[in-house]
Structures are given as C-alpha cells and as structure tokens.
Amino acid sequence: MKKFTGIPASSGIAIGKAFVYLEEDFPEIPRYSIRKNQVETEWARLLKAIVEAVEEVQVLQERAVREMSKEQADIFAAHLLMLEDLDFQDQIKDRLRGNLQNIEWTVWDISHEVALKLMSSPDPLFRERAVDISDVSRRIMDKLLSITRFSLADLDQDVILVVHDLLPSNALNMNKAHVKGLVMDMGSRTSHTAILARAFNIPAVLGLSDITQEINNGDRLVVNGGTGEVIVNPGRPELARTENAISAFRKMNDDLLALRNLPAETLDGRRALLKANIEVPEEADQALRYGAEGIGLYRSEFLFLTPGKTAEEEEQYEAYRHVLKTMGDLPVTIRTMDVGGDKLLPDLQGDEKNPLLGWRAIRFSLAHPELFKTQLRAILRASVDGNTRIMFPMISGVEELEEALVLLEEARSECRNLGYAFAENIEVGAMIEVPSAAMTADILAERSDFFSIGTNDLVQYTLAADRGNERVNYLGQPCHPAVLRFLQMIIDAAHRKGIRAAMCGELAGDPAVTPLLLGLGLDEFSMTASSIPQVKRIIRGVSMEQCRVLAEEALRSTSYRHVNSLVTGWLAEHFPPA
Ligand code: PEP
Ligand code: MG
C-alpha cells in the first residue's frame, strides 16, 4: 500500500481500478527531400494509409449509427467522402511530384493550406469542412506514422483515470459514465479540468507531480477528492475507513440539500444571490436541484471544444435555449467564448508560445468578428426564451469593452434584418479577471450593467502564476493582500455606480471565505452547483456586522498566511464541527 497527497480538486470519494492513460502528443511531422525515383513508393504509402483510414472510419460510422446521433454518423460519412476524394488525391500527387518532399509533409502542408482557406470563409458550411479536413489528415498521418490512439470516449468499464495532464476538451469528451475518479500529475483547483471534474461530480486529486510513474494499470485506488489523498492498493482497514467516509459524505450532502428552498439570507436580513456555473447545457438541471437562483456563468466555449466539430449558429442557439428554458424566469448569464489558454481551438489558434497571455477570450472574439457575431446572434435569438444576460471574458480595458458592445449592436441589427425577435434590455456585463480591469473598474463600471469577478484568472494574473501548473500552485493564493485589495476596489467601484458585483471564480464557492466576501460587499456568488448548499449554510449563520469586522481585519493583514488562518479560525469559532 502507498499513500500520496495532492490538491483536492473535486470532492467525493471513489474506489476503483486504475487506468493509466498516457496520451501521446501529436507528433512532429517529419520533413525531408526525396528523389524523383521515390515518388511512386511515397505515393503507394499514402494509398495504403488511405485504405486503412477508410476501414477505421467505416467502423466508427457503423458504431455511430448504432450508438450515437445521426449527426455524428454524418460527420464520419463526410470524412469517408474526403478520404476517397480523387481531386484531393490528385492535388497531393501533383505537389509530391513538384516539391519532392516526403508524403507526410506533403499531406500535412496541403491539408493545412486548405483548412486555413476554408476557415476564413463566411459560409459556416465551409468552416465546418475545415475541421473535417484537419481531422481526416490527422487520421492519415497516424496511419503513415503507425500511431495507434485510444480515445477516452471509448472507455467501456468503470475506471479511475490516471493521467499526466488532461486537456479540458478531452475531459469533456471522455466517456464520463465510466470515469469514477480522476488522478493527475498536473493541474490545480482552478484549472479547467478540475472545474469540469466538479461539474461532472467526479472525485479528483490533481497536482501529484509524478503519480503516473507510481501507479500501474489495474491497481486498486482510493481517491478522496475532499482531502487530496490517493491510496494505492489499500489494505482492509483503509477500505473499511473509506466505506465509512463514503456514507458520511452522502449523509452530509443529503443534510445540506434540505436547505435547497431556503433563501441565502444573513441573520440580520441581507440577501445574497447564489447561482451556478455550468459548462454544458445538461448541467442546468443539476443547478436547479441544488437550489441555484440562476446561472451566473455559462462557459459557452465548451460548445466549441469537441474535436471535429464547429458549433454553428443553430447548434449554439439550441444549447442556449435549452439552458434558458430549463431555468425558467431565473437569470442566465452566458459568457461569450473564452477560448485559448488551456482551451485551445486547435484548428483556429495554432501554437502560441504563451497562450495564457495570448489570443484568449475577448481578444480572440474581437479578432474573429464573424465568429463572434454568430455567437451573439445565437444568444440574442435564444433570449426570447428566458432571462438572458451576456458577459464578456478577460476584458482588459474600456476599448475592448466598447468594441464588443459595437459588435453586439451589429448582431442586434442583423437579427432585426433577418426577422429574428430578441429580448430588449439584456444586461451586459464585464468579467473582471485581469489586473488592468480591476485597476480601472471605476471606468468599466460606466459601461457595464454588472461585474462578475473571475478570481481564477485574477489570481493567476495578479500573482503571475499559471493556474494549471502544480509547481507554482502554492502562489495562487486568492486571499493574498493584493487580491483582497483588488476585490475591494472592484466591489466598491461597482456599488458607486449602482451596479451589482458578482463573483464566478472558484473562490465564490469556498465556504471558508464566504463571510469575508460578504463583508467586502459581494452581491452574487456563482459556483459549482454542488457547493451552493454549503455556502448557503454559512450565509444563514452569520450577520453582516460580524462579516464587515472580519473583512476589515483581513484587509489590514500583511500576508495571505495570516488571512488564511484568520478565516479558518473564524469559521471554526462560529461553526464548530458537529
Ligand atoms: C475565472 O477566471 O475566475 C473564471 C470564472 O473564468 P474561467 O475559470 O473559465 O477562466
Ligand atoms: Mg477566467
């Protein structure tokens, strides 16, 4: 038996068999010159690779017809047509003869060129084809380079997934029904994979450095996502203790759920709003189950992260509508796509040296006005079905906000011209998650209907510590005096202009800091749905007077260590463990 402790990233306890998944990176494409007399051999290699790829896609297509949607099956049908497209093959042969470069490079070069051309087309159908081309060429490349891939979507047994790192797109598309727990070398509590694990209620421990070297396939694991403990091949006593912990965890959740219909109101009558963060439309049901008073953050970018698919206007419209209808009159804040960073759109964004400081969120949207307006139109059209709000991610200054508002106005007039109805007076807010936005919150408040503070990024950018990198995880302290001063500035700036200050970063769902956030004047808290009852319990047990005193003391503190011990001590004193 071995024990490890990592970052507790998604609560819950799981027992199960390890599945160690070591994902290969997409390989470097070899590039070398060939002689004229090698052209035929290279060509024959390609034809063989195409035959193998066709066989593989046929199997996938049959499976899609049986087990998935018609839409999925149609994608594979389109891939088959491309693989067998003689014009495309001729183009490759001409380039092979002309440039005398190896076949892998030739295929890669042409596909990339065609995909880029299609991607810049205003026609959504062409853009969709660009993703297909990249997919098909990747499959051919795998065959040429003899790479076999296992997709997490193919998991067919219950496992505890052990990985070095997991991109949010992979987490989104894995067969979640069979992933009972997640253990990872990389990552931290605010990495997007952790956020997804919480959304899917999968217990997760992250940031374990080299746990993939310590665990073998088939090892029995206990994963405690609340304490961060991972036990490999536990003995009987540990197993018995784990069974007890699982029962206690269930009971605690049931007790907390009893608070579902009670208001989040302090002892002296201050009402806060507790909302849910969601990543996929289906989570809206769960939000209601935990008593959310709206969706404070719908991370719409997850619609764009399924490989081989682009989310066109209709698909987006249906997704937004689904959430709005599920939530009825309750407000739903749709954040426009925050792609980039660890949520790269591989076909559109390419490689960046420093993606977290690069083409992310509103920057990417403003650079792709057609894509952005497609999203805005989809949101506007859906807005007749519920109480919609729009929010822009990673605003760094007033210019970006104004530019986004101009495009929103253009999307409105496009809807009018096309005869689409939409709700008037949709509130539009800015996420405050970049230090420059926090410093100019008073200016941004002039142009915003509300603020939502993204502490995950605000902490990352204030402390200059990558939120997904376990080596600098210790620096990502949301109670650092620098962050607390920013929070106070943002909330005060909002209130001075008479707008609401919400928070949708993970800090909003941490019950230990709830009294501090109340004391700073926060109006709305948006979090993983399952955290709502715990935060509500705290709010219902404190008075604003006490919270203000606590916030003042925290703001006077000179170190995060002091603030952390202040808030935990305060909580233990006011909410002694039963
Ligand atoms: C944040 O940065 O706090 C936030 C809520 O946005 P995301 O986690 O999606 O970056
Ligand atoms: Mg963010």
Q: What is the mean pLDDT of residues 85-100?
A: 92
Average pLDDT score over residue span 70-85: 82
With a cut of 60, say whether residue 64 has pLDDT above it.
yes
Ligand 1 atom with the smallest distance to the CA of 454 is: 3
| 369 and 474 belong to one structural domain | yes
Q: Give the C-alpha separation, 200 to 277, whole Å.
A: 12
Residue 27 lies in a domain: no
Cβ–Cβ contacts within 10 Å for residue 19, how many? 22
Helix (H) or strand (E) holding 18: strand 13-21
Binned at pLDDT 50, 70 and 90, residue 131 comes out as confident
Shared domain check, 402 and 273: yes
Ligand 1 atom closest to Cα of residue 456: 3
pLDDT at residue 72, as a whole number: 65
- One domain, residues 328 and 476: yes
How many structural domains comprise the chain?
3
Which among 84, 111, 144 is the end of a domain? 144
Instruction: Judge if the beta carbon of residue 340 lies within 6 A of ligand 1.
Output: no
**DSSP-based three-state secondary structure for 272:** coil
In CATH, what number is assigned to the domain containing residue 126? 1.10.274.10
Please check whether residues 157 and 76 belong to one and the same domain: no
Place of tokens 């496992």: 159
Mean pLDDT (whole number) for 460-477: 94
DSSP state for residue 271 in the 8-state scheme = B
Active site members: 192, 504
Q: How high is the pLDDT of residue 7?
A: 94
Please tell me the distance between residue 462's alpha carbon and the centre of ligand 2 in angstroms: 13
SS3 359: coil
Neighbour-count burial of 442, counting CB atoms closer than 10 A to its CB (0-12 exposed, 13-18 middle, 19+ buried): middle
User: Does residue 308 carry a pLDDT above 70?
Assistant: no
Instruction: Kindly report the protein residue whose alpha carbon is nearest to atom 6 of ligand 1.
Output: 454
| Distance of CA 433 from the midpoint of ligand 1 (Å) | 8
Average pLDDT score, the chain:
92
Residue/partner pairs of 168-175 with CB below 8 Å, 24 or more apart: 168/192, 168/193, 168/195, 168/196, 168/302, 168/305, 168/342, 168/343, 169/305, 169/306, 169/307, 169/343, 170/23, 171/196, 171/197, 172/196, 172/279, 172/280, 172/302, 172/305, 172/306, 173/305, 173/306, 173/307
Share of the chain above pLDDT 90, in %: 74
205 neighbors 183 (Cβ within 8 angstroms): yes
Taking the model in full, what pTM does it have?
0.80
| Nearest-CA residue for atom 8 of ligand 1 | 456
In a domain, 452, yes or no: yes
Structural domain contains residue 65? yes
User: Is 31 among the domain residues?
Assistant: no
Residue type, 225: G
Give residue-wise pLDDT tens across range 448-460. Answer: 999 999 999 999 9
Rounded mean pLDDT, 197-223? 94
Which ligand is located closest to the Cα atom of residue 299?
Answer: 1
pLDDT at residue 68 is higher than 60: no
| 102/164 same-domain check | no
Under 8 Å between Cβ of 235 and 216? no
Instruction: Please indicate whether residue 457, judged by its CB atom, sits closer than 6 Å to ligand 1.
Output: yes
- Give me the residue label for tokens 């206690």: 248
CB of 296 shorter than 6 A to ligand 1: no
Measured distance CA(336)–CA(391) in Å, rounded: 6
pLDDT of 304 higher than 60: yes
Query: Distance (Å, rounded) from C-alpha 227 to C-alpha 409?
Result: 48
Distance CA 415, CA 227 (A): 50
Q: Model confidence over 401-454: pLDDT tens digits?
A: 999 999 999 999 999 999 999 999 999 999 999 999 999 999 999 999 999 999
**Residues in a beta bridge with 154:** none
pLDDT at residue 77 in the model? 86
Q: How distant, in Å, are the alpha carbons of 6, 116, 250, 485 from that of 473?
A: 11, 37, 29, 21
Residue 59 banded pLDDT, cuts 50, 70, 90:
confident
Domain boundary (116, 144, 172) is at 144
Q: Encode pLDDT of 372-397 as tens digits.
A: 999 999 999 999 999 999 999 999 99
Residue 14 beta carbon below 6 angstroms from any ligand 1 atom: no
Angle between helices 39-67 and 86-99 (to 10 degrees): 150
pLDDT in tens, 102-124: 999 999 889 888 887 887 777 76
Residue 146, judged by CB atoms within 10 A of its CB (0-12, 13-18, 19+), counts as: exposed
pLDDT of residue 104: 92
Q: pLDDT confidence of 500, banded at 50, 70, 90? A: very high
Angle between helices 544-556 and 481-496 (to 10 degrees): 130
Are 237 and 275 in a shared domain?
no
Is pLDDT of 57 > 90? no
- Rounded distance, CA 167 to CA 346, Å? 12
pLDDT above 60 for 67 = no
pLDDT of 125 above 80: no
Distance 502 CA to ligand 1 centre (A): 13
Same domain membership, residue 101 and residue 170: no
In a domain, 566, yes or no: yes
Atom of ligand 1 nearest to the CA of 455: 3
Coil, helix or strand at residue 7: strand
Write the pLDDT tens digit of every residue in 151-184. Answer: 888 888 999 999 998 888 788 878 899 999 999 9
Domain containing residue 243: CATH number:
3.50.30.10
Does one domain contain both 139 and 166? no
Can you tell me the mean pLDDT for 181-198?
Answer: 91
Let me know how long the chain is.
578
Range of the domain at 108: 36-144
Please report, for the domain that includes residue 549, its CATH number: 3.20.20.60
Picking from 144, 175, 141, 171, the residue whose alpha carbon sits closest to that of residue 158 is 175
pLDDT at position 150 is: 78
Write the residue with the smallest CA distance to atom 1 of ligand 1: 454
9 against 56, higher pLDDT: 9
| Nearest atom, ligand 1, residue 453 CA | 3
Band of the pLDDT at 236, cuts 50, 70, 90? very high
338 and 487 assigned to the same domain: yes
The predicted pLDDT at position 257 comes to: 85
Identify whether 126 is part of a domain.
Answer: yes
Within a 13 Å sphere around the CA of 197, how many CA atoms are in the beta-carbon half? Answer: 32
pLDDT of 129 higher than 70: yes
State whether the beta carbon of 283 lies less than 6 angstroms from ligand 1. Answer: no
Kindly state the average pLDDT of the residues 316-321. Answer: 96
- Give me the pLDDT at residue 479, please: 98
Same domain, 418 and 305: yes
**Interval between CA 309 and ligand 1 midpoint (Å):** 24
Q: Is residue 30 part of a domain?
A: no
Confidence of residue 328 (pLDDT cuts 50, 70, 90): very high
Distance 199 CA to ligand 1 centre (A): 14
Residues 436 and 462 in one domain: yes
Same-domain status, 569 and 520: yes
Asked if residue 224 has its Cβ within 6 Å of ligand 1, the reply is no
What tokens appear for 65 in the block? 């017809």
3-state SS track over 474-543: HHCCCCCHHHHHHHHHHHHHHHHCCCEEEECCHHHHCHHHHHHHHHHCCCEEEEEHHHHHHHHHHHHCCC
- Statement: residue 26 has pLDDT above 70: no
Of the residues 87, 111, 144, the one at which a domain ends? 144
Going from the Cα of 76 to the center of ligand 1, the distance in angstroms, rounded, reads 34
Residue to substitute in 364, 455, 456 for testing ligand 1 pocket (most ligand atoms within 8 angstroms of CB): 456
Specify if 296 maps to a domain: yes
- Asked whether 338 lines ligand 1 (CB < 6 A), one says yes
Over residues 28-49, the mean pLDDT reads: 92
**Pocket probe mutation, ligand 1, options 338, 462, 524, max atoms within 8 Å of Cβ:** 338
Confidence class for position 517, pLDDT limits 50, 70, 90: very high
Mean pLDDT along residues 518-542: 97
